Amino acid sequence: MHMVEVKGILSSKNGMNLYRGCSHGCIYCDSRSRCYQMQHDFEDIEVKRNAIELLEDALKRKREKCMISTGAMTDPYIPLEIQLQHTRKCLQLIEKYNFGLAIQTKSNRILRDLDVLKCINEKTKCVVQMTLTTFDEDSCRLIEPNVSTTKERFEVLKVMKENGIPTVVWISPILPFINDTAENINGILNYCEEAGVKGIICFGMGLTLRNGNREYFYRALDEKFPGLKERYIQSYGNMYDIRSKNNQELMELFYRRCKQNGILYDPNVVFSYLNTFEQKNSTRQISIFDL
């Protein structure tokens, strides 16, 4: 871990990343790609020391309320968050100033902040996004070794449902020759249906490989799935967009089950939902964190 001072915290689209780098160890992680120009080891997590002050200043200056998003590049609930509580403090500011929240994670540590999430959702809109890639727990541990298992993430989705907080699931990535099966997709969709998710984001059955994450992915394949790297190289070479040979069949399954269960599945529709701010009470309520 190392600390840095930054000049800003919100992007032009109101997204923020409180950390850079990650310790979850997911073998497919796109954030390792060199195009993001990270100047430190990926596991040496960069902490934006002044993030909380910058966020409060930005929220005070905004003329219109909007959705604030976090978790696109680095999970906001990496283990360091338990000690530093940067995410929790920022959620408290979002609640205090009556903004909405779209937060993405793979960790059940988010349940620590259920009280704040509920308060945000009572006044505006809070959407919890959870990535689910691998229904089988043993396979999940190989692919995503240091995060909550798929079953644990499913339990988070159910807790959110019980508390009236809408959820969106990312089915991404799906790894050819590993979890690109109807059994896996059906298992994940069973979880989504039981948890009553609002929408699912899936761009296709496959993954992307760029310089940086490709090398890490192949090293992980050598370690965890001996012989599979050669199969990838033979099938895909140095392609960026890696599509499962089962893509059409699995996407038809995905569309059919989403339609049957009233789950949003068009990425543009789901992103529109995530980005649309909703004011449930126009009168400023007293924040629990003002007391």
Identity (one letter) of the amino acid at 216?
A: Y
Whose CA is closest to 173, among 220, 218, 132?
Answer: 132
CA distances from 248 to 38, 251, 260, 282 (A): 35, 5, 18, 46
Q: What angle do CA 275, 263, 132 make, to 5 degrees?
A: 80
281 falls within a domain = no
Instruction: Give me the CATH number covering residue 129.
Output: 3.20.20.70
280 falls within a domain = no
CA distance 135 to 118: 28
- Count of residues making up the chain: 291
Which residue has tokens 């390792």?
A: 32
CA distance 271 to 264: 10
290 falls within a domain = no
242 falls within a domain = yes
96 falls within a domain = yes
Whose CA is closest to 210, among 236, 231, 180, 181?
Answer: 236
171 falls within a domain = yes
Burial (0-12, 13-18, 19+ Cβ within 10 Å), 122: middle
- What domain range includes position 135? 2-275
Please state the separation of Cα 35 from the chain's center in Å. Answer: 20
- Please, are residues 219 and 28 in contact by the beta-carbon 8 Å criterion? no
Q: What is the DSSP letter of 283?
A: S
- Please, are residues 112 and 95 in contact by the beta-carbon 8 Å criterion? no
Q: What is the pLDDT along the chain (291 residues), one digit of tens a residue?
A: 999 999 999 999 999 999 999 999 999 999 999 999 888 999 999 999 999 999 999 999 999 999 999 999 999 999 999 999 999 999 999 999 999 999 999 999 999 999 999 999 999 999 999 999 999 999 999 999 999 999 999 999 999 999 999 999 999 999 999 999 999 999 999 999 999 999 999 999 999 999 999 999 999 999 999 999 999 999 999 999 999 999 999 999 999 999 999 999 999 999 999 999 998 864 444 555 554
118 falls within a domain = yes
Cα radius of gyration (the chain): 19
- Pull the structure tokens for residue 83: 């000690």
- Please, are residues 253 and 185 in contact by the beta-carbon 8 Å criterion? yes
The count of structural domains within the chain is 1
CA distance 222 to 187: 27
CA distance 25 to 231: 22
